[in-house]
Amino acid sequence: MLSARETRIAMLFVFSLVIVGAVAFYTYARMVDPLLVTGWSNVDKEQKQIYVSLVNEGWADINIEEVAVNSKAPATNAHFVMSYTGQLVSGGIEDSSQAQFIGIDEGIIPPQLSDAEVRQILRDNEGRIPLHYGVRIVNDENIHTVHIQYRYLGISRTKTVVL
Chain segment 51-60, per-residue pLDDT in tens? 999 999 998 9
Mean pLDDT along residues 3-14: 86
Euclidean distance between CA atoms 44 and 52, whole angstroms = 14
Q: Give residue-wise pLDDT tens across range 30-81.
A: 778 899 999 999 877 778 899 999 999 998 999 999 999 998 888 889 999 9
Calculate the alpha carbon distances from 88 to 24, 98, 106 in Å.
36, 11, 19
Give the pLDDT band of residue 157 (cuts 50, 70, 90).
Answer: very high
Q: Give residue-wise pLDDT tens across range 97-118.
A: 888 999 999 989 999 998 888 8
Q: What is the pTM of this model?
A: 0.81
Whether residue 56 contacts residue 34, with contact meaning beta carbons closer than 8 Å, is answered with: yes
pLDDT value of residue 110? 96
DSSP label at residue 47: -
Residue 149: which residues within 8 A CB-CB, separation 6 or more? 64, 65, 66, 67, 68, 156, 157, 158
pLDDT value of residue 149? 94
pLDDT value of residue 90? 85
Give the pLDDT band of residue 22 (cuts 50, 70, 90).
Answer: confident
pLDDT value of residue 127? 64
Mean pLDDT along residues 1-9: 83
Euclidean distance between CA atoms 132 and 89, whole angstroms = 6
Q: Is 140 helix (H, G, I), strand (E, B) or coil?
A: coil
pLDDT surpasses 90 at 27: no
Provide the total of helices (H) and of strands (E) in the chain, helices listed first: 2, 10
Euclidean distance between CA atoms 55 and 62, whole angstroms = 10
pLDDT value of residue 64? 95
Euclidean distance between CA atoms 121 and 98, whole angstroms = 14
